[in-house]
Amino acid sequence: MSEKGGSLSPGTLRLELKDDEKEVLRRQIDTPKSQMSRLALLYTCTTPYELLLLVISSIAAIIGGALQPVSFLLLGGLAQAFKEFFIGTSSGSHLSSLVAKLALYYVYIAIGQFVSVYISTAGFVVGEKITQRLREKHLAAILRQNIAFFDILGAGEITTRITSDMNLIQDSLTGKLSLTLYSCSIFGAALIISFAKSWRMALILISAYVAETGSMSFFSSFMVKYTHKSLAAYADGSTTAEEAISSIRHITAFGIQDKLADWYQKFLSQAENYGLRSRLALAAMMAVMNVLHEGNVVEQGTHQELMELGGRYIELVKLQSLESI
């Protein structure tokens, strides 16, 4: 301890720190963003057994999704068999044997899909253990910080991050990850089958998926942005509430209850505003998807009437028949 240049008043002492100690203190106060990716951070919280179980569950989810479009191929073969029987090009015995064969295939696909989906659902339960380790590491990292770190980090924000943020991670690992792999597998298998059966019709229909994917990416960016801001506002509000409750005697003595209540309301209003924007982005995305999924053909009528009309319907029929040329 020493006085510098006589500028300090008598009795004032200044603690001199070494350069390495100053650097440690600076790093603890000014915490930069982690250079580790989020996926790599999750891997650090998994055991080899859990990592193997996640890989097996992911493969099972992909297999379960890929089996879904295959059933539609069997349905198409079944419809073709009935068509040939009704127009007289196949016998009843041939129809019976073919229906029995396709029905057996349906049973095999159902069993395979049930087993794969069950494995994927049960395997991703390890996400709860991973999330628990993340909570422990997060709390341990906070407790290791210098006391000056807590000048900018309140107790309410700590509890909010441990509960709200970790619950989002747990929900993603245990449910949404398997559902995402399952859905992507369905899309990939259906795309391959459609191009293998009729690539011209697949090119026509894929435009809707391109538009849907583009709209989802566009609106999802806004949803993620405003969700993060909403969580940050809730964390600041929680910090304000925690500090007010812990100092309730001083607050009552100074009569600043209304001021702190207004301050807390400001954070709640910010969170509500950001949450509303996120929901509006979700509503816009769902509106675009519903238009793409539920759009109706302008021309309506029976098959014969539309064929005689010579409009868009007959053009689609001709495009489907190009496969036989």
> DSSP string spanning 117-147?
HHHHHHHTTHHHHHHHHHHHHHHHHHHTS-G
Dihedral sign from CA coordinates of 188, 190, 195, 196: positive
Contact 279, 293 (CB under 8 A): no
Does 168 or 321 have the greater pLDDT score?
168
The pLDDT of 99-128, averaged and rounded, is 89
Reference 169, options 138, 134, 123; nearest CA is 134
pTM for the structure as a whole: 0.63
CA distance 184 to 202: 17
Residue 106 tokens, joined: 């349906």
8-52 pLDDT, tens digit each: 444 444 567 777 777 776 766 666 666 555 666 777 778 888 889
pLDDT category of residue 59 using cuts at 50, 70 and 90: very high
Query: What confidence tens digit (pLDDT) does each residue in 262-279 have?
Result: 888 898 898 889 989 988
Q: For 259, what's the count of Cα atoms within 13 Å in the CB-facing half-sphere? A: 5
Q: What average pLDDT does this structure show over 306-310?
A: 63
Tokens representing 208 are: 């809707």
- CA distances (Å), origin 215, targets 209, 210, 259, 281, 297: 10, 9, 43, 10, 22
Per-residue pLDDT tens for 215-245? 888 888 888 889 888 888 888 888 788 778 8
User: What is the spatial distance between Cα 121 and Cα 206, in angstroms, rounded to a whole number?
Assistant: 30
